[in-house]
Structure 1
Amino acid sequence: MSHETLLARWHDHITRRGDACAVSAPDGDLTHRELADQVAGVHRALSGSATDGPVLVVCADPVQALVGLLACALAGQTVAPVDVRQPAARWAAIVEDLRPGAVLADAPGAAALAAAGVRGVPVLRADACAPVAWVAPHLEPAARADAGYVYFTSGTTGRPKGIRGSLAAVAHFVDWETSEFSIGAGTRVSLLTSPGFDAFLRDALVPLCAGGTVCVAPTPELPVGDALVRWLAEQRVEVLHCVPTVFRTLRTAGAAAGSLPDLRVALLAGEPVRASDVAWWRGLFGDTKELVNLYGPSETTMTKVFRRLDAADAVAETVPVGRAMPGVTVRVLVAGAPATDAIGEIEIEVPFPLAGYLGTDEGGFRLPHRYRTGDLGRISDDGTLVLLGRRDQQVKVSGVRIELGAVEEALRDHPAVHDACVVTADHEDTTVLGAYVVTADATSDEELRAHAALRLPSGHLPSVVVRLSEIPRTLSGKVDRRALPLLAAARSTAEEDAPGTPLEREIAALWAELLHLTSVGRLDDFSLLGGTSLAMARLLDALRTRFGVEVTLRSFLLDPTVAGLATVIEDARTGGGTQLPMEASA
Structure 2
Amino acid sequence: MSHTTILRRWADHVEKDPGALAIATPERPWTRRELARHAAGLRERLADGEGPVLIACADPVPVVAALLACAAVGRTFAPVDTRQPAARWTALLEDLAPTAVVADATGRAALAGHAVRPIDAGQAEHGAWHADDWRDPDVPDAGYVYFTSGTTGRPKGIRGSLAAVEHFLDWESAEFAVTDGTRVSLLTSPGFDAFLRDTLLPLRAGGSVHAAAPGTPPVAAGLAAWLEAERIEILHCVPTVFRTLRAAGLTAGSLPALRTVLLAGEAVRPADIAWWRALFGDRKDLVNLYGPSETTMTKVFRRLRAEDADAGTVPAGLPLPGVEIRVLAAGRPVTGTIGEIEIRTPFPLGGYLDGRTGGFAEPHAYRTGDLGRLREDGALEVLGRRDQQVKVNGVRVELGEVEDVLRRHPGVRDVCAAAVAEGDADPVLCAYVVAEDALTDEELRAHADAGLLPGSRPAVFVRLAAIPRTLNGKADRRALPVPSAARRVEADDRPRDGVEAEIASLWCELLHLPAVGRQDSFTLLGGDSLAIARLLDRLRSRYGTDLPLRVFAENPTVAGLAAAVSAGSSR
Does the 8 Å CA contact 1:78/1:147 hold for their aligned counterparts? Answer: yes
- For residue 486 of structure 2, what is the aligned residue in structure 1? 492
Cα distance 1:529–1:425, how it changes in 2: closer, same or farther (>3 A)?
Answer: closer
Cα distance 1:94–1:506, how it changes in 2: closer, same or farther (>3 A)?
Answer: farther
Q: 1:249 Cα deviation (Å)?
A: 1.2
- For residue 290 of structure 2, what is the aligned residue in structure 1? 295
Instruction: Give the partner amino acid of 1:483.
Output: A
Q: 1:225 Cα deviation (Å)?
A: 1.1
- For residue 105 of structure 1, what is the aligned residue in structure 2? 103
C-alpha distance after superposition, 1:368-406 (max 9, x if no partner): 1000000000001111100101112699xxxxxxxx99x
C-alpha distance after superposition, 1:448-482 (max 9, x if no partner): xxxxxxxxxxxxxxxxxxxxxxxx9x99997x473
CA distance in 2, matches of 1:110, 1:375: 38
Instruction: Give the partner amino acid of 1:277.
Output: D
- For residue 139 of structure 2, what is the aligned residue in structure 1? 144
Say which of 144, 157, 165 aligns to 2:160.
Answer: 165
- For residue 471 of structure 2, what is the aligned residue in structure 1? none
CA distance in 2, matches of 1:538, 1:341: 40
Cα distance 1:11–1:537, how it changes in 2: closer, same or farther (>3 A)?
Answer: closer
3-state secondary structure, aligned to 1:3: coil
CA distance in 1, matches of 2:524, 2:70: 38
C-alpha distance after superposition, 1:185-241 (max 9, x if no partner): 111111111111000000111111111111222233311111111111121111111
Instruction: Give the partner amino acid of 1:245.
Output: T
CA distance in 1, matches of 2:550, 2:29: 32
Structure 1-normalised TM-score? 0.77
Q: 1:551 Cα deviation (Å)?
A: 9.6
Please say if 1:9 is aligned against 2:4: no
Unaligned runs of at least 5 residues, structure 1: 396-403, 429-471, 570-577
- For residue 464 of structure 1, what is the aligned residue in structure 2? none
Please say if 1:527 is aligned against 2:546: no
- For residue 64 of structure 2, what is the aligned residue in structure 1? 66
The 10-residue stretch of structure 1 (498-507 or 77-86) with the greater mean CA deviation from structure 2:
498-507
CA distance in 1, matches of 2:289, 2:74: 30
Does the 8 Å CA contact 1:493/1:521 hold for their aligned counterparts? Answer: no
3-state secondary structure, aligned to 2:570: helix
Structure 1 or 2, whichever has the larger Rg, is 1
Please say if 1:371 is aligned against 2:366: yes
- For residue 469 of structure 1, what is the aligned residue in structure 2? none
C-alpha distance after superposition, 1:462-516 (max 9, x if no partner): xxxxxxxxxx9x99997x4733322638643579xx5866889999967743321
Please say if 1:357 is aligned against 2:343: no
| RMSD of Structure 2 on Structure 1 (CA) | 3.8
The 5 Å alignment of 1:391-406 reads 391-392=386-387
Instruction: Give the partner amino acid of 1:83.
Output: D
Instruction: Give the partner amino acid of 1:518.
Output: P
CA distance in 1, matches of 2:104, 2:220: 29
Does the 8 Å CA contact 1:293/1:309 hold for their aligned counterparts? Answer: yes
3-state secondary structure, aligned to 1:382: coil
The 5 Å alignment of 1:559-570 reads none
Please say if 1:28 is aligned against 2:28: yes
C-alpha distance after superposition, 1:30-74 (max 9, x if no partner): 222221111101111223xx4442111111111121111111111
C-alpha distance after superposition, 1:125-152 (max 9, x if no partner): 1112231221145337842211110111
The 10-residue stretch of structure 1 (364-373 or 525-534) with the greater mean CA deviation from structure 2:
525-534
Please say if 1:514 is aligned against 2:521: no
Q: 1:306 Cα deviation (Å)?
A: 0.3
The 5 Å alignment of 1:279-358 reads 279-358=274-353
C-alpha distance after superposition, 1:293-329 (max 9, x if no partner): 0000000000000001101001111100000010000
Cα distance 1:76–1:531, how it changes in 2: closer, same or farther (>3 A)?
Answer: same
Instruction: Give the partner amino acid of 2:80.
Output: V
CA distance in 2, matches of 1:125, 1:24: 21
Instruction: Give the partner amino acid of 1:21.
Output: L
CA distance in 2, matches of 1:310, 1:15: 40
Does the 8 Å CA contact 1:42/1:131 hold for their aligned counterparts? Answer: no
- For residue 476 of structure 2, what is the aligned residue in structure 1? none
Cα distance 1:248–1:101, how it changes in 2: closer, same or farther (>3 A)?
Answer: same
Please say if 1:419 is aligned against 2:426: yes
Q: 1:289 Cα deviation (Å)?
A: 1.0
Instruction: Give the partner amino acid of 1:514.
Output: L
- For residue 442 of structure 2, what is the aligned residue in structure 1? none
Does the 8 Å CA contact 1:492/1:519 hold for their aligned counterparts? Answer: no
Does the 8 Å CA contact 2:8/2:135 hold for their aligned counterparts? Answer: no
Does the 8 Å CA contact 2:326/2:343 hold for their aligned counterparts? Answer: yes
Instruction: Give the partner amino acid of 1:27.
Output: E
The 5 Å alignment of 1:74-153 reads 74-114=72-112, 117=113, 119-139=114-134, 142-153=137-148
Cα distance 1:541–1:186, how it changes in 2: closer, same or farther (>3 A)?
Answer: closer
- For residue 44 of structure 1, what is the aligned residue in structure 2? 44
Cα distance 1:167–1:541, how it changes in 2: closer, same or farther (>3 A)?
Answer: closer
Please say if 1:184 is aligned against 2:179: yes
Please say if 1:584 is aligned against 2:565: no
Does the 8 Å CA contact 1:154/1:161 hold for their aligned counterparts? Answer: yes
Does the 8 Å CA contact 2:38/2:65 hold for their aligned counterparts? Answer: yes
C-alpha distance after superposition, 1:253-274 (max 9, x if no partner): 1221101111111111110011
Unaligned runs of at least 5 residues, structure 2: 391-417, 436-448, 465-482
Q: 1:25 Cα deviation (Å)?
A: 2.3
Cα distance 1:259–1:521, how it changes in 2: closer, same or farther (>3 A)?
Answer: closer
CA distance in 2, matches of 1:262, 1:308: 19
Does the 8 Å CA contact 2:84/2:453 hold for their aligned counterparts? Answer: no
Instruction: Give the partner amino acid of 2:59.
Output: D
Does the 8 Å CA contact 1:243/1:477 hold for their aligned counterparts? Answer: no
Does the 8 Å CA contact 1:73/1:142 hold for their aligned counterparts? Answer: no
Does the 8 Å CA contact 1:184/1:207 hold for their aligned counterparts? Answer: yes
Does the 8 Å CA contact 1:511/1:539 hold for their aligned counterparts? Answer: no
3-state secondary structure, aligned to 2:64: helix
C-alpha distance after superposition, 1:143-167 (max 9, x if no partner): 2211110111122333211111011
Say which of 183, 205, 225 aligns to 2:220.
Answer: 225
3-state secondary structure, aligned to 1:185: coil
Q: 1:10 Cα deviation (Å)?
A: 1.0
Please say if 1:257 is aligned against 2:228: no
Q: Kindly, what percent of the aligned residue pairs are identical? A: 56
Q: 1:533 Cα deviation (Å)?
A: 4.5
Does the 8 Å CA contact 1:515/1:530 hold for their aligned counterparts? Answer: no
- For residue 204 of structure 1, what is the aligned residue in structure 2? 199
Q: How many residue pairs align between the two structures?
A: 506
CA distance in 2, matches of 1:9, 1:255: 37
Say which of 204, 210, 213 aligns to 1:215.
Answer: 210
- For residue 468 of structure 1, what is the aligned residue in structure 2? none
The 5 Å alignment of 1:424-435 reads none
Please say if 1:482 is aligned against 2:468: no
- For residue 432 of structure 1, what is the aligned residue in structure 2? none
3-state secondary structure, aligned to 2:216: coil
Cα distance 1:543–1:366, how it changes in 2: closer, same or farther (>3 A)?
Answer: closer
Does the 8 Å CA contact 2:11/2:135 hold for their aligned counterparts? Answer: no
Cα distance 1:131–1:394, how it changes in 2: closer, same or farther (>3 A)?
Answer: closer
C-alpha distance after superposition, 1:525-584 (max 9, x if no partner): 53232224465578789999x9xx999855764675689x69x98xxxxxxxx9987982
CA distance in 2, matches of 1:224, 1:88: 29
Cα distance 1:340–1:164, how it changes in 2: closer, same or farther (>3 A)?
Answer: same
